[in-house]
Amino acid sequence: MTTNPLFDGFKDAFAFKAVPNLEVPEAAREFVKRSVSTAKERAAEIQTGAEKVTGVVESAVSGSFAEAAKVTRNIQQAIFEDAEAFFSGLDKLASATSLTEAVQIQSDLLRSRGEVAVARAKSATEYVGKLITDTAKTAQENIAQVIDTTRKVA
């Protein structure tokens, strides 16, 4: 087997040969143990804080999706009700026996749909106002939680 002087020199440079036995003082060992313990505690606190922040964000996002689904359902319901009212109106108009009666039916239908539109607008305004208020309150609470968690970790 041939030896490679370069490789042997590299091996010798990193070989542990007769390392002197130095005593590590007890105080140094205790310092390292305390530092490691403190670092572990900090890491656990940071992990807990990160989980709380994630929970807060998750809660806010899921609430937004739930509200969006609610709005979509309400819009679908309104479209269905409008279609029903339209077909019902056509049915009533078809039963009119005179032009005067047809005008009266049309007038009643328009007034009725106008009242529905006003009621929906009022309901939508109240809903949006409540949603904005609730969202602002939730955002303030979430920010306060994040700040509180950050302060505890820091």
Tens-place pLDDT, residues 23-53: 778 888 888 889 888 888 888 888 877 787 7
Q: Which residue reads 């509200």 in tokens?
A: 67
Q: Which residue reads 């309901």 in tokens?
A: 123
Tens-place pLDDT, residues 99-132: 898 889 899 999 999 899 899 889 888 888 888 8
Sequence-separated (6 or more) residues with CB below 8 Å from residue 69: none
Angle at 50 between CA 46 and CA 52, to 5 degrees: 120
